[in-house]
Structure 1
């Protein structure tokens, strides 16, 4: 797999994309069934951009849309007419791209249930293979660019955001998309849907995947790599990153070596998020430890989630309910050894 992301790689000119593709292919050998995905900003492409990506070997695309409503687009300073998005998708299909994903965001300024329903209906007309529908988190102290949203009063309430998520799930599943969970939807015949049915779905920090146990090597500022037992992140600032590379040094900013306990908990959280259930006997065999004994404290802490209807205990296991799927992050947090145990509500913070 090869992924070109980081916001908007289509900021590069077509000839620059061709050059980049040639450099990567010169240094890596790709298999016949290569999955090569790229993030696309429809506002920054021409047909030649798509041709250049296709010539470089890309066959999958993820497109940022956020919302089609003009008032919302104006509020977030992202003017992207519907015709522009439709044209980009037409170009991608003409160039033989096999899988198209559209990114939407709920919780943006001026969004309402009615306006977002129209955005969903308009996007469905484009017939993407997958949807990623993310929750907007307003954190201008972390992301200074969000300061352009001058009036927080225009943001939907947590209750409205839940309504938007509920609407999204109902609308997309009615149109034949499977709710994979954690913001993602895919057609029933998509490999993600098939993997979830077969309980072979995987997840990493980039999202859902059908391929587990693979190393991820990232290039570029602030990018994160992953091996079996470690994570490491590149330098975040261009001058320091460039200097390190020019001096022949790996531009690594920080790293983390996982403990055996970390590995157990990562596997547990992954299976919970992907399968939406935990079979205790199966997990004991998978982890090589007696699951119920190892997670005695965590399992005991789940009672409030059961009372709230988020999970249901069965003979030798637990399952996430339909309501619980909306709050799967909160459920998974109970198995995170570094997450302080909290029993008070405030679920909306992860919606």
Structure 2
């Protein structure tokens, strides 16, 4: 395994989309093209599957130095109401463009720190969303809470709107690691919010853990996993730390590169955690996720409806995912758009009555075909195609890229499809890269992605 880690530990995308954001062709994109693709997807599916909404809430009271998310650090809570107003103004702009009231099937509040916002302001936000929309017949609503500032009232307010999923960022319980990433939170706080969530009635509680953090050891991971298992969350996200210190504005400069585990050491951390989780009855879902068999994420894996988008793995497949808020990304299958990242610029555009679009990409037929193959691999560990789907040149190039994985026993493939072997599961990102024509054609010379291992 160590030799394979050394061989395949290269920078690579996490494939929440294809094409990935750095390879969007902005020459294909305009607001007119985006709205046309949005309306087409919405009209075809709103009455059946409904739509998904992602709301980005970017504020945090302190900077966690492992985090690469778009955020603003402040203890000034007067920022809450103006931002909620901007979100609802953006939502109103979209609703004015649509031919009928949206039916919301999936709603997720992410960040930043959603629990930075008071229960009153979260109530104002969700009430405002449903002023212009209705819930779909079947819904999947979730949000992210910080164990240190999530209150019972936060949980009750959102539960009342139909939220049944909540995830809490734990990362690691080792005080040495917590100091390095500036994420100070005691186990007792996580235990308390988990208990409150169960008492209120949440049916899917997730804890987010990270491996590969500075100063992390197998003993620390073992202790963190055992503490987590004592609370028995329904889902566990066991993420690989993405070290991307070159991204402007992120906080990943609070420790030195030499404080991080090597590729081999990082893999030991993952294997240690995975073995403990599987022994406790959790099932690995796609990449970085585990769930107990009663959880909807596991059921989606079993019945073939597991989906992956800019929110990660989801149980709901809709053709329209609208992202509201600074830096949020929207997806209508044939097109992507990303909002303005700068918080002040975002709010100014929305107040001026403009969609706050920064960039985007309209997918051509080949993009859509490759997107489907990559999505199948990430969600199901296999994919199929018709033998004539590739030109001779394309098939020769793809076969050449897959050959190494086949020789290493990581997958099986022929001219009709591909199946990832159990040994290949740790290398899903690498296998998807073989299908990524835009990445392979461009061969970027600068760092764009974190390491795959």
Q: Do both share a fold (TM > 0.5)? A: yes
Q: Is the 8 A contact 1:100 1:129 kept in 2?
A: yes
Matching residue of 2:201: 96
Q: Deviations over 1:32-63 (max 9, x none)?
A: 43211001111122222222222333221111
| 1:295 to 1:178, Cα distance in 2 relative to 1, 3 A | farther
Note the alpha carbon deviations across 1:285-309, whole angstroms, 9 max, x for none. Answer: 9xxx536966442123211111222
Q: 1:109 to 1:242 in 2, by over 3 A?
A: same
The one of 363, 369, 373 aligned to 1:258 = 363
Residue of 71, 75, 83 corresponding to 2:180 = 75
- The two structures, once aligned, show a CA RMSD in angstroms of 2.1
Q: 2:404 aligns with which of 304, 308, 326?
A: 304
| Residues 398 and 435 in structure 2, CA contact (< 8 A), matched pair in contact too | yes
Matched, 1:350 2:449: no
Give, in angstroms, the shift of residue 224 of structure 1: 0.3
Of 192, 195, 216, the match for 1:111: 216
Other-structure match for 2:10:
none
How big is each residue's C-alpha offset from its partner over 1:308-328, in whole Å with a ceiling of 9 and x where there is no partner? 221134795432122210010
Written as runs of structure 1 = structure 2, the 5 A alignment for 1:1-351 is 1-142=106-247, 144-149=250-255, 151-279=256-384, 283-284=385-386, 290=389, 295-313=395-413, 317-340=417-440, 349-351=451-453
Change (3 A) 1:292 1:196: farther
In 2 relative to 1, CA 94–309 (structure 1 residues): closer, same or farther, beyond 3 Å?
A: same
Moved more, 186-195 or 108-117: 186-195
- Which secondary structure does the structure 1 equivalent of 2:386 belong to? helix
Contact 2:164 2:203 in 1 (8 A): yes
CA deviation after TM superposition for structure 1 residue 348, in Å: 9.1
Whether the aligned pair in 2 keeps the contact of 1:11 and 1:44 (CA below 8 Å) is: yes
Query: Post-superposition shift, 1:206?
Result: 1.6
CA distance in 2, matches of 1:331, 1:317: 13
Comparing both chains, which one has the higher relative contact order based on Cα–Cα distances under 8 Å and sequence gaps of 6 or more? 2
- The verdict on how the C-alpha distance between 1:130 and 1:174 changes in structure 2, with shifts beyond 3 A counting, is same
Confirm or deny: 8 A CA contact 1:222 1:234 kept in the other structure: yes
Does the CA contact (< 8 Å) of 1:232 and 1:252 recur in 2? Answer: yes
Query: Alpha carbons of 1:251 and 1:315: their partners in 2 closer, same or farther (altered >3 Å)?
Result: closer
The C-alpha deviation readout for 1:65-86, integer Å capped at 9, x for no partner, is 0001111111111111000000
Kept after mapping to 2: 8 A contact 1:213/1:228: no
Whole-Å separation in 2 of the counterparts to 1:241 and 1:317: 43
Q: Distance in 1 between matches of 2:304 and 2:163?
A: 28
SS of the equivalent of 1:102 reads strand
Structure 1 portions without partners, runs of 5+: none
| Alignment deviations for residues 178-212 of structure 1 (CA, whole Å, 9 cap, x no partner) | 11121111112323223323333221122122333
CA deviation map 1:143-180 (0-9, x unaligned):
5411122x332211111101111122211112111111
Q: Figure out how many residues of one structure are paired with residues of the other and give that number.
A: 340
The answer to whether the Cα contact below 8 Å between 1:292 and 1:299 also exists between their aligned partners in 2 is no
Structure 2 residue ranges without an equivalent (≥5):
1-105, 444-448
- Equivalent residue of 2:131, what SS? helix
CA contact (8 A) 2:242 2:450 kept: no
Distance 1:174 1:221 in 2: 41
Distance 1:37 1:86 in 2: 19
TM-score by length of 2: 0.71
Aligned-partner Cα distance in 2 for 1:27–1:125: 42
